Amino acid sequence: MADSPLSSKNSAAAKRPVVIGLEVHIQLNTKTKLFCPCSTDYIGRTPNTNVCPICLAVPGTLPLLNDLAVALGSRMGLGLHCEIQNYSNFHRKNYFYPDLSKAYQITQYGLTIAVGGYIDIEPEGRPKRVRVHHLHLEEDAGKLVHPTADGRLTGAAYSLVDYNRGGVPLSEIVSEPDMSSPAEARDYVIRLRQLARYLDVSDGEMESGSLRVDANISLSNPDGSLGTRVEIKNMNSLKSLERALEYEISRQNKVLDSGGRIVQETRLWDDAEEVTRSMRSKETASDYRYYPEMDLAPIVITDEQIEDFKRAMPELPWEKRERFAREFGLSGEEVAILTEQKELARYYEETIAAGAPPARAANWVRMEVLRVLNETGTSISDFPLGPSVLAELVKKVESKELSSTIAKDILDTLSREDITLDEAVKRSGASAVRLTGCLLDEVVDRICAANPGVVETIKSGRDKKGGKMKFLQGLVMKETRGQADPSEAAGSLSKKLGA
Amino acid sequence: MEIYEMTASETAEGIKAGRFSAVEAARCGLSRIAKFDGEVNACVTVTEEHAIATARRVDGMIARGEDPGPLAGVPYIAKDNFCTKGIRTTCSSRILENWIPTYNASAINFMNGAGAVLIAKSNLDEFAMGSSTENSIIGPTKNPRDLGRVPGGSSGGSAASVAAGYVPLALGSDTGGSVRQPAAFCGIQGMKPSYGEVSRFGIVAYASALDQVSPLARTVGDLAMALNVIARPDPNDTTCDAYDRPDFAASLAMRDLRGKRIGVFAGFEAEQMDAELYGALTKAAALCEAAGATVEPIDLPIAVKYGVATYYVTALADASSKLGCFDGIRYGTHIDGPTLTDMYANTRTASFSEEVRRRIILGTCLLTEGFYQNYYGPALKVRTKMAMEFEELFSRIDAYLLPTSPSMPYPMGTKETDPTRLYLGDIFTVPISLGGLPGINICMGFTPDDLPLSVQLVGPRYGDASLLGIAGVIERVVGRPGAAAPRKLEEVR
């Protein structure tokens, strides 16, 4: 490990402050592309089937702006506490590459739909505000396909291009360089993704590419001035984001420690080798020859529309967290888990609305529902056991009609099989009538009669630690198949054995 | 009167009244092409089969008592940068030599929907970059009024087609004068409507911010008729205004110019332009005054001094990005190379002419760091200044008279070697384009050698209808010279 860059992590030089800014692209949840009526559903499609004259840049065609993309971009902007601009426009970002049919990408530049704003993050319990510089709309590029074994360009005799993704609407969110550790960057992305999902603006899946992160990272100089910035691309998960930033911090520290200089460049994260590699020297903005897109009328969003967007905003993650804590008296950790996905939060609230007590329902959703979802790999939206059924189940436990052990079995059964709660209860063997009073006493008598040795031990006062008593209790519970209340069973045993 | 001598409205009337059929009208135009185009070279593609089939459909509708539309059976020609479904569209460029679009330009759809019959696609300076229609894969177009001279450009093929009597009506595109100037050179009427009046969808772009579909005809009335058909909102072009257009033809009821205030360009020295054209401008001003208008000389210092420079900076910057799509990958000529860059270079070097490459390279330079600050940035500021100058101008007057071109049609092969001089030929048309204003070329008569004398009449943005009315009065008092057949053309055969 001595020559691994990661080992320099603890060296004295590693105290150089880290400065990280992120550019996050999210694919907006629209059915059609940003400037044409083609479908945005490109994953797994036959190449070049979701295309039309507009996204193929057939001569004479003109872009048509998708209004929903503007609405979603504005909504995300509002969620980020940005100011929505009444007037913004598009530019052409010019560069030649086969994945770009027009030889320019239509993107916002200068005048963007949303500016300013922030996200409050809390990595490892330490709150921090990360400022957002702006949010803009742009179109995605197509995809090159290289006919080599590893799918890489090197060694390919030719390349193919698939324009299915070309023109898919993206919203790029550019942060200020306010993050100072990989953990903060990770939390920023988590919060941003959660917001996008709460707002139904994007799926935010990093693996499938509907959320992409580029990181700019530099190490400050001893005098506090900013160091040279390096851009890192190609991080396809939160884990690779964190690893790539950690790698880059140690790499830059090593370079600086050895008296070298950081080169301004773009580096690609190699997930398999866990290193970043130089891609190209950083292109400056002027190389793109930005030019106003005269084929599109400017985007005009009136104050009235902005008010409409605001009114249509759903409850935001932090608002929900605050309300859950206040209304349901839950702990911070409980709230965090229950509100992570708005669908789970809604499930929880519906369970309460159906009569389940909040604290107990919180435990059930957190412990049992999430367990089953994890085991079966389903999402809460596809979970077959509805909140009203869960509420019934929780109520039965609350009223001691069912033991929690049996109730958990029933929850498992209901998540697997399409049967009613009553059928599941019946099948579990638990009768609707609870075993209590003299019926319970009868079982206790039977168990004591069958275990004379143990009874003798207890009666003679030799069961100092209560282990034998527990043993008998267990037998009673087993015999009653959980239909007895454990504390009542214990009481009945104590009475009989005088312990 | 022969069919080919008729205006578009007379042709439609004749067909609707059953005096002759749409097929006869189409055949008449096609026979004129067959007779003269070997010499004039105005047409890139003759669409005979399509034309006869369309004309038959129009005749069928009339036979069934249905209304085929205001342009029933009127033959027309469209510049070869209008996309036409199933019909080759070359832009007179090698790169699109064999390209067949899968869709129609909106203007083509509107024309077809009004009953008009497309009989040919006309020649242009490659990608509409030029003022003489000499720079084309099919070779230069000649001016029907003097075959030794250029027809102007870039819509030279459309202008020559109308002047030579192939069709009464043609469509062109005007970016910096590309319809007004060839109309002037060929002695017909041509109008660039206000920017945003006509959909640009399906026009292969030169400069998005300036291109405008523009009709050419032998009378102002036909221009108005064409505008009634093509000027309408189009969901395919968001820069095409959604407002309800007036009836452009109705304004032709204007009988005189009483109460109209007309400005006449005064800011030039006589040597800046050909004397005959100075005479035409003076004559037009006098006619306006005689028709009841108050006429005052007005200077346009910013527009005329900085127009050409501003125009070329903005148009070429625009063009350099719009022409990027011709990369040899999805359509058009493809010439391979060992690397991607070689493929781009091989394809584009071999397929674009020197003039197109010059403009792309200039435009590319203009947008790079440093140049942008020194050229494109200031050009945008000047454009704003010019807009203010025009706004002030049209707060005082209803229409403005100025030359269309500073020069008479020049002999072929004389100007293209000097691009700077060629560009200066646009001095009076480009400011109007930069202002997004409507401008009409009005033919005022001919020299003894049958060379046309023209003026340009300009109005405020979206003042197209009233501008047509004023132009109509001038055309009437001068005696409709634009309808005159070229004297020397018949002698050729």
- Does residue A5 have a pLDDT over 50? no
- The reported pTM is 0.89
* Average pLDDT estimate for A130-149: 93
Chain-chain contact of B324 with A59 (C-beta, under 8 angstroms)? no
Of the pLDDT bands very low, low, confident and very high (cuts 50, 70, 90), residue A108 is very high
Q: What is the pLDDT of residue A14?
A: 52
Chain-chain contact of A57 with B101 (C-beta, under 8 angstroms)? no
Chain-chain contact of A57 with B364 (C-beta, under 8 angstroms)? no
The CB density around residue A422, as the number of other CB atoms within 10 Å, is 10
User: Is B275 within a domain?
Assistant: yes
A98 part of contact set with chain B, CB < 8 Å? yes
Distance of residue A295 Cα from the nearest chain B Cα, in angstroms:
6
User: Is B383 within a domain?
Assistant: no
The CB density around residue A457, as the number of other CB atoms within 10 Å, is 17
Q: Write the pLDDT tens digit of every residue in A225-284.
A: 999 999 999 899 999 999 999 999 999 999 999 999 999 989 999 999 999 998 865 444
Name A88's bridge partners.
A299
Distance of residue B208 Cα from the nearest chain A Cα, in angstroms:
6
Q: Least CA distance to A93: which residue of chain B?
A: B321
Q: For residues B18 and B26, what is the distance between their CA atoms, to the nearest angstrom? A: 15
Q: For residues B477 and B474, what is the distance between their CA atoms, to the nearest angstrom? A: 5
- Does residue A432 have a pLDDT over 90? no
Residues of chain B contacting residue A65, judged by C-beta atoms under 8 Å apart: 238
Of the pLDDT bands very low, low, confident and very high (cuts 50, 70, 90), residue A480 is confident
Low-confidence ranges of chain B (pLDDT < 50): none
Of the pLDDT bands very low, low, confident and very high (cuts 50, 70, 90), residue A439 is confident
Of B200, B320, B370, the CB nearest to A62: B200
Q: Write the pLDDT tens digit of every residue in B257-297.
A: 999 999 999 976 656 778 899 999 999 999 999 999 999 99
Q: What is the pLDDT of residue A12?
A: 47
Q: What is the pLDDT of residue B271?
A: 60
Distance of residue A211 Cα from the nearest chain B Cα, in angstroms:
28
Q: Least CA distance to B337: which residue of chain A?
A: A158
What domain range includes position B427?
3-299+389-492
Distance of residue A252 Cα from the nearest chain B Cα, in angstroms:
30
- Torsion, CA B270, CA B273, CA B277, CA B278, rounded to 10: -10
B370 φ, ψ (degrees, to nearest 5)? 90, -60
The yes/no answer on whether domain A437-497 falls in CATH 1.20.120.1200 is no
Residues of chain B contacting residue A59, judged by C-beta atoms under 8 Å apart: 83, 89, 91, 96, 99, 101, 204-205, 325-326, 331
* Highest mean pLDDT of the ranges A278-292, A398-412, B342-356: B342-356
B201 part of contact set with chain A, CB < 8 Å? yes
A67 part of contact set with chain B, CB < 8 Å? no
The CB density around residue A192, as the number of other CB atoms within 10 Å, is 26
Q: What is the pLDDT of residue B270?
A: 58
CATH number at residue B85: 3.90.1300.10
Q: What is the pLDDT of residue A493?
A: 85
Chain-chain contact of A60 with B208 (C-beta, under 8 angstroms)? no
B327 part of contact set with chain A, CB < 8 Å? yes
Of B201, B318, B344, the CB nearest to A60: B201
A104 part of contact set with chain B, CB < 8 Å? yes
The burial of A370, by beta-carbon neighbours within 10 Å (0-12 exposed, 13-18 middle, 19 or more buried), is given as middle
Provide the 8-state DSSP code for A341: S
Residues of chain B contacting residue A94, judged by C-beta atoms under 8 Å apart: 320-321, 324, 367
Return the SS3 of B219.
coil
Counting Cα atoms < 13 Å in the Cβ hemisphere of A279 gives 15
Of A64, A96, A292, the CB nearest to B324: A96
Residue type, B6: M
Q: For residues B258 and B218, what is the distance between their CA atoms, to the nearest angstrom? A: 26
User: Is B109 within a domain?
Assistant: yes
Distance of residue B239 Cα from the nearest chain A Cα, in angstroms:
5
Residue B337: alpha-carbon gap to chain centroid: 38
The CB density around residue B389, as the number of other CB atoms within 10 Å, is 18
B209 part of contact set with chain A, CB < 8 Å? yes
Cα-Cα-Cα-Cα dihedral sign, residues A440, A443, A448, A449: positive
Chain-chain contact of B329 with A64 (C-beta, under 8 angstroms)? no
Residues of chain A contacting residue B315, judged by C-beta atoms under 8 Å apart: none
Chain-chain contact of B325 with A96 (C-beta, under 8 angstroms)? no
Of the pLDDT bands very low, low, confident and very high (cuts 50, 70, 90), residue A9 is very low
- Does residue A88 have a pLDDT over 90? yes
**Minimal CA–CA distance to B463: which of B263, B236, B192, B154?**
B192
The CB density around residue B28, as the number of other CB atoms within 10 Å, is 21
Distance of residue B118 Cα from the nearest chain A Cα, in angstroms:
19
Provide the 8-state DSSP code for B84: B
- Does residue A402 have a pLDDT over 50? yes
Of A63, A101, A296, the CB nearest to B330: A101
Residues of chain B contacting residue A92, judged by C-beta atoms under 8 Å apart: 321
Name A128's bridge partners.
A121
List the single best residue of A64, A146, A291, A300 to mutate versus B (max B Cβ within 10 A). Answer: A291
Residues of chain B contacting residue A102, judged by C-beta atoms under 8 Å apart: 321, 324-325
Interface size between A and B, measured as CB pairs under 8 A: 102
Q: What is the pLDDT of residue A4?
A: 46
B315 part of contact set with chain A, CB < 8 Å? no
Of B83, B202, B239, the CB nearest to A295: B239
B114 part of contact set with chain A, CB < 8 Å? no
Chain-chain contact of B325 with A102 (C-beta, under 8 angstroms)? yes
Counting Cα atoms < 13 Å in the Cβ hemisphere of B424 gives 10
Q: Are strands B294-298 and B261-265 parallel, antiparallel or unpaired?
A: parallel
Instruction: Indicate which residues of B carry an active-site annotation.
Output: 79, 154, 178
Under a CB-based contact definition with an 8 Å cutoff, are residues A403 and A397 in contact? yes
Scanning A199-288, the segments in alpha helix (DSSP H) are: 238-257
- Torsion, CA B79, CA B83, CA B89, CA B95, rounded to 10: 110
Under a CB-based contact definition with an 8 Å cutoff, are residues B203 and B197 in contact? no
B204 part of contact set with chain A, CB < 8 Å? yes
Return the SS3 of B72.
coil
* Average pLDDT estimate for A204-223: 94
Q: For residues A384 and A362, what is the distance between their CA atoms, to the nearest angstrom? A: 18
Helix axes A342-353, A317-328, angle to 10 degrees: 30
- Does residue A492 have a pLDDT over 90? no
Distance of residue A69 Cα from the nearest chain B Cα, in angstroms:
16
Under a CB-based contact definition with an 8 Å cutoff, are residues B400 and B298 in contact? yes
User: Is B344 within a domain?
Assistant: no
**Domain chopping of chain A, boundaries:** 18-305, 315-427, 437-497
Q: Write the pLDDT tens digit of every residue in A66-79.
A: 999 999 999 999 99
Q: Interface pTM (ipTM) of the complex?
A: 0.94
User: Is B35 within a domain?
Assistant: yes
Let me know the angle formed at the C-alpha of A124 by A121 and A128, rounded to the nearest 5 degrees. Answer: 30
Q: For residues B359 and B293, what is the distance between their CA atoms, to the nearest angstrom? A: 42
Residue type, B319: A
Q: List all residues of chain A from 293 to 332 with a beta carbon under 8 Å from chain B.
A: 293-297
In chain B, how many domains are there? 1
